[in-house]
Amino acid sequence: MQLITGAAEADWIDIALEFSARVIGTVPGGYEAYLRIFHPGVAITVTSMEGTGFTAVSWGAVAQATGATVHPAMQWTSIIGNC
């Protein structure tokens, strides 16, 4: 491994990106496949005066609780419903 102190080696990324809301606006095109990682959801539990608890939950669990359908293009705002 070699320490690189400049950003010139990454210039190709900036050149390859397109102005788009699609994947190619974030990651350069040309790859066979892309992986989407969903951030964890958070369940908040309020226990009267004792405090509040936070638990990480999957998008699938949130979708099941709200009746939403899980699919590769799902968006957080569409699965949380009226929570």
The residues spanned by each domain of the chain are: 8-79
Q: What pLDDT digit, counting tens, does each position of 10-59 carry?
A: 888 888 888 888 888 888 888 898 888 898 988 887 777 677 788 899 99
Mean pLDDT of 48-74: 87
d(CA 15, CA 48): 54
Instruction: Please give the single-letter amino acid code of residue 2.
Output: Q
The pTM of the full predicted model, rounded to 2 decimals, is 0.58
Indicate the pLDDT class of residue 70, thresholds 50, 70 and 90.
very high
Token pair of 43 as six digits? 């369940």
